[in-house]
Amino acid sequence: MDMFQNILLTIATASTPLLIAAIGELVVERSGVLNLGVEGMMVIGAVCGFAAALMTGSPWIGVLAAIIAGMLLSLLFGFLAISLATNQVATGLSLTLLGIGLSGMIGENFVGQAGIRLPNLDIPVLTDIPMLGRLIFGQDPLFYISLALTAGVMWFLFKTRTGLTLRAIGDSHKSAHALGINVLKYRYLAVMFGGGCAGLAGAHLSLVYTPQWVENMTAGRGWIALALVVFASWRPWRVIGGAYLFGAVTIGQLHAQALGFGIPSQFLSSLPYVATIVVLVLISRNRRLTVMNTPASLAQPFVPDR
């Protein structure tokens, strides 16, 4: 029973950064912007969060630093892709390369140093409930923040006027502009939110998942987060299911290696990424559903009329 509980706990921990990064990118894409730089913003958040926590002794300052770092990098993307109307795909890929290189330079002196872990909650009595206590009431704070973010984004997009405006921009930025909506402002705010979420996801990796700094420690999680948005058909509640599915695959292959199954470890390590490809292929087969849910202005640059 303890082993089963530990597996569930590790799945929740592995899924949290995917959920945070994906929910941020979902808001970005709902505004009609495609930011492929999630991986770069995550890794910058990871190194800045680790460094700030280590230098100040406070993991919460590390979390704040990670969010700010992700937002600053997203502003660079916003300036190029929104203000200068550059190709969003090429700009996002460049942002990922920049983030990976910059994080390696920033984190050079922090490799091998023990980090400061963000402590799990410990609620007396509730945490001690058999089976469910630690799973529900004893997680790290970012786990609860990820669920709150998802619920907040659902409410924002579908229950508020601002969310409706954002979705309208994503579906037709020209029509939104004709109605007097400041398209560039909304897109900048969405991109900054996505950058902050990516930075927060990176902080979870270096302050909770493995409290240390390892170069390129995101290991492709930013790309999985991008795939999750498509997997979820741009619906926030579906992102939760997708994140925990991929988290379960990640943890499952680790346990399979530990149990010594007669399967090459390299193949097991590739399973999360193989699962990503398989899911995208399956989704692309239903073209009608994909086109119906995809924001119509996604990845299209917008230059306001004068």
Query: 15 versus 138: which is more confidently predicted?
Result: 15
- Yes or no: say if 224 and 163 are a contact pair by the CB < 8 Å rule: no
Ranked by mean pLDDT, which of 2-6, 112-116, 264-268 comes out on top?
A: 112-116
Q: Which two tokens stand for residue 113?
A: 């140093």
Judged against a pLDDT cut of 70, whether residue 111 lies above it is answered with yes
Other CB atoms within a 10 A radius of the CB of residue 81 amount to 25
**Residue 57 maps to a domain:** yes
Q: Identify the pLDDT of residue 185.
A: 96
Q: Which two tokens stand for residue 26?
A: 């979902």
Query: 281 versus 200: which is more confidently predicted?
Result: 200
Query: 153 versus 288: which is more confidently predicted?
Result: 153
Mean pLDDT along residues 145-151: 96
Judged against a pLDDT cut of 80, whether residue 269 lies above it is answered with no
**Residue 304 maps to a domain:** no
- Summarised one tens digit per residue, pLDDT across range 34-84 is 999 999 999 999 999 999 999 999 999 999 999 999 999 999 999 999 999
CATH of residue 231: 1.10.3470
The total domain count for the chain is 1
- Summarised one tens digit per residue, pLDDT across range 226-258 is 989 988 889 899 899 889 988 888 887 776 766
Residue 231 backbone phi and psi in degrees, to 5: -55, -40
**Residue 210 maps to a domain:** yes
Q: Identify the pLDDT of residue 122.
A: 80
Q: How far is 35 from 26, CA to CA, in rounded Å? A: 10
Model pTM score: 0.92
pLDDT category, 99, cuts 50, 70, 90?
A: very high
The stretches of 32-140 forming alpha helices (DSSP H) are 38-56, 59-78, 88-106, 132
Q: What is the mean pLDDT of the chain?
A: 89
Q: Identify the pLDDT of residue 265.
A: 62
- Summarised one tens digit per residue, pLDDT across range 163-180 is 999 999 999 999 999 999
Residue 226's domain spans which residues?
2-293
Q: Identify the pLDDT of residue 42.
A: 97
**Residue 112 maps to a domain:** yes
Q: Identify the pLDDT of residue 268.
A: 65
Q: Identify the pLDDT of residue 245.
A: 87
Query: 135 versus 292: which is more confidently predicted?
Result: 135
Residue of 107, 105, 108, 81 lying closest to 93 (CA atoms): 81
- Yes or no: say if 190 and 166 are a contact pair by the CB < 8 Å rule: yes
Query: 152 versus 266: which is more confidently predicted?
Result: 152
Q: Which two tokens stand for residue 178?
A: 């004709």
**Residue 299 maps to a domain:** no
Question: Given the structure tokens 């910059």, which residue do they identify?
Answer: 102
Q: Identify the pLDDT of residue 259.
A: 66
Q: What percent of the chain shows pLDDT beyond 70?
A: 91
Q: How far is 128 from 118, CA to CA, in rounded Å? A: 20
**Residue 300 maps to a domain:** no
Q: Identify the pLDDT of residue 260.
A: 65
Q: Identify the pLDDT of residue 290.
A: 65
